[in-house]
Amino acid sequence: MDDGFRGLSLTNTLTRRKEEFRPLDWADTGRAADAKQVRMYVCGPTVYDFAHIGNARPVIVFDTLYRLLRHLYGEAHVRYVRNITDVDDKINARAASEHPDLQLNEAIARVTAGTTRQFHADIAALGALPPDVEPRATDHIDAMKTMIETLVDKGNAYVADGHVLFHTPSMPDYGALSGRSLDEMIAGARVEVASYKKDPTDFVLWKPSTMEEPGWSSPAGIDGRGRPGWHIECSAMSEVHLGPVFDIHGGGLDLIFPHHENEIAQSCCAHGTDRMAQVWLHNGFVQVEGRKMSKSEGNFVTINDILATTRIGGRSWPGEVVRLALLKTHYREPLDFTQARLEEALRELDRWERMARAAGLSATPEDAAPDTLFLDALKDDLALSAAFARVHELFDGGEAAAALASLRLIGIEPLRADALDAASLERIAERLDLLKRKEFTAADAIRDALAAEGILLKDGRDAATGERTTSWERRR
């Protein structure tokens, strides 16, 4: 009998050990085989600013896991949900400061729409597949209010001063995910002090809104308008799209407390379950050039900075280079994002491309399958260091097709198309005209712009006519 085990093991933050992964649907003997799904939820962005390189890491880590799950179980049997948080006080503050001439709700709509578009463009450049569902918090307000009212009815939440708060002592094992006691949480965590709280660790499920702020009719018999707290959003969205209990919940290490801890409290108490997800996965922190990333340190780097500007190393970096750089360290370990790391990833991709072309390949053959040992490494808690070591062995052993198929499985394509787009060819022709007219400054500007895009120009002379010519080579 197929119990769903495909040899995959994952390190569960909740149990603090590596475990064999068996999806919940496979234990349901009454569920038809074609209806069984692996269900995964990952916390997505709060869309008030461009996503930074720390935000990129969970996107790439869980995209890699998503790809592996689709390979192991079939695309139709994996459901990946990653949300958009589009109601939040950070969004309100950014909208008010960026568009002071607009009504706040109009300013918020402009900020969230633009930031969401940029997020999608940036992570697509990193090779991330779209999730199966991308719910927005503002589309799930009714589900949040229903859950809040259930928690109030069960005695896990209470109304105070126009707020609804979750009462953490009502859940005996609150803190199990982070391993913190209530006293430790009070002493060392971000606990908001408020006179209307029954316990210092109680957290907001719903808060009142002014007439200028985003708001909806309030739950639990409260008069007036209000808006949800952050934690309740993910509990409601995951329930709507994956059910009260699902397989995998993922996010960055910084979300364990309080966000994921509070999600568990809300969801388990509302549904009367002993768990929200059976496996909790968290990726490690990201530093930049050996320091914690912050604007005050001058090392705050967005994905767009890396892809579209010359801020790091005097050049922009292709998405596949950034993706490889993020995957070279095990997902649970801290990662230092440096120029040297990008340069190493660039050299590695270029080497793989040269070896693939030397083997006569311009694409991965359709009948090529990922290597078995490569897959074994991935199935061991995404042990990508071992997986990449196997890729080198495959290339060195003359098995370039298997190496390419293995890399493609995790979203890395060493081979690039040789053709240039029409706009780039026009700029090359324009530069030649500028050189003929001895307008060297303008010609150099075009050359430098193309170089930043990975297109290197080499000038020469036609042997027969003596006319100036330019050849080009695409480089990452």
Which residues belong to the annotated binding site for ATP?
Answer: 295
- 354 closest CA partner among 344, 362, 364, 342: 362
Query: What 3-state class would DSSP assign to 177?
Result: coil
Q: How far apart are CA 252 and CA 332, in angstroms?
A: 9
3-state secondary structure of 340: helix
Residues belonging to the binding site are 43, 234, 259, 263, 295
- Phi, psi (rounded to 5 degrees) for 228: -75, 155
User: CB 447: neighbour CB atoms within 10 A?
Assistant: 21
Q: Which residue from 285, 240, 270 is spatially nearest to 56, judged by alpha carbons?
A: 285
Show Cβ contacts of residue 74 under 8 Å, excluding neighbours closer than 6 positions: none
Residue 365: partners with Cβ closer than 8 Å, 6 or more residues away? 401, 405
Strands 291-292 and 246-252: unpaired
Binding-site annotation, residues for Zn(2+): 43, 234, 259, 263
13 within 8 A of 23, measured Cβ to Cβ: no
Residue 339, CA distances (Å) to 50, 95, 127, 280, 313 in order: 20, 33, 20, 31, 6
Collect all residues with Cβ–Cβ distance below 8 Å to 383 and sequence separation of at least 6: 330, 377
**DSSP per-residue string spanning 217-236:** E-STT--SEEEE-HHHHHHH
Q: What Rg, from alpha-carbon coordinates, does the chain have?
A: 26
